[in-house]
Amino acid sequence: MTRRRLLGIGCTLVALALGLGPRRLRRRPQLPGLPPVIVLPPPAVILPPPPVSIEAKIDPALRALMQADPSQTLRPVIVEMQAPLPPFLGAPNVDRALEALDLLRFNGVAVAPLSLIDAAAGFANAAASPR
């Protein structure tokens, strides 16, 4: 090998040794007064609400109005379902709205699902209301 090539290899080895050699540790300044990290407990388990009677779910004013004159033609109603419980699969609001729409189809005249509020709009009379 030529002298120039050996000198180049030697300089490269010296540069690598200096670059990979022991380094001085730099201390990073820490912010004073930081609070300690607080770990919160896991969220509580969500339980379904206790069952409620069907009569308690119907608005008392609407029930009184419909029972006062049961032969009256259909009245506009909104059937609202209970909110779905997690874990959610698919589109739970749409599923609840379609269930409400099915209830209206069975007990009155269904018009449209209202998936934003888990409900359906339609018409019903006192004969369609549960007793």
Beta bridge partners of 79: 120
pLDDT digits (tens, 9 = 90+) for 6-58: 777 887 777 767 666 666 656 666 666 666 777 888 777 777 777 777 677 77
CB 96 within 8 A of CB 74: no
In angstroms, rounded to a whole number, what is the distance separating the alpha carbons of residues 119 and 98? 8
CB 123 within 8 A of CB 74: yes
pLDDT digits (tens, 9 = 90+) for 111-129: 988 888 888 899 887 765 5
- Tokens for 64? 């009184």
Please name the amino acid found at residue 116. L
Q: What is the pLDDT of residue 131?
A: 45
Q: What is the pLDDT of residue 127?
A: 65
